[in-house]
Amino acid sequence: MTHERPVIALDVDGVLMPWLNPEYGGWLLALADRADLVWATSWEHSANWQVGPHVGLPAMPVIEFPHSVKLPAVDAWCADRPVAWVDDWFSPDTYAWASKRIAVGLPTFLVPVDPASGLLPVHCELIAVWLNRLAD
């Protein structure tokens, strides 16, 4: 069991865009009492003013992606913290990274979102179940 607060790393394109559903904020903020919400998107800091207000999310920390490469930046930012990463595309390298983290006892949950539908309540429900397991 880890004592580090979990991270929910959130992409924008294919997850929240183009829908900008105002219910997204409520779904995600319901998880924020147990995990830190952070932007993991190429929108970087602009997500806080171009996306967040439209979906009911406050300003959140941002994982910056030098050279537009997500995996090394997410890995460095999350370090040894448990992470649920919500994105519409994960490379084979991302799945290998998650498997390695899990193998060494670092809770990691990749949450693939179909870009044809975007974030759904079931995605947040799955994250809630994962967070509950961390608390046990």
Burial 60-82 (b: 16+ CB within 10 A, else e): bebbebeeeebbebbeebbeebb
Distance CA 58, CA 64 (A): 18
pLDDT tens for each residue of 22-47: 999 999 999 999 999 999 999 999 99
Q: Mapping DSSP to helix (H, G, I), strand (E, B) and coil, where does residue 84 land? A: strand
Token digits of residue 108: 């990691």
User: What is the per-residue pLDDT across 43-61, written as a single tens digit (0 to 9) for each?
Assistant: 999 999 999 999 999 999 9
CATH architecture of 7-135: 3-Layer(aba) Sandwich (3.40)
134: Cα separation from own chain's centroid: 16
Task: Give the tens place of pLDDT for each residue, 100-109.
Answer: 999 999 999 9
pLDDT at position 1 is 44
In this prediction, residue 3 carries a pLDDT of 58
Average pLDDT over residues 116-132: 98
Spatial CA neighbour of 109 closest among 121, 92, 126: 126
Element containing residue 71 per DSSP (H, E) = helix 70-78
Q: What is the pTM (predicted TM-score) of this model?
A: 0.96
Q: How many CA atoms lie within 13 A of 106 on its CB side?
A: 16
Q: How are the residues of the chain apportioned to helix, strand and coil, as percentages rounded to the nearest 5?
A: 40, 15, 45
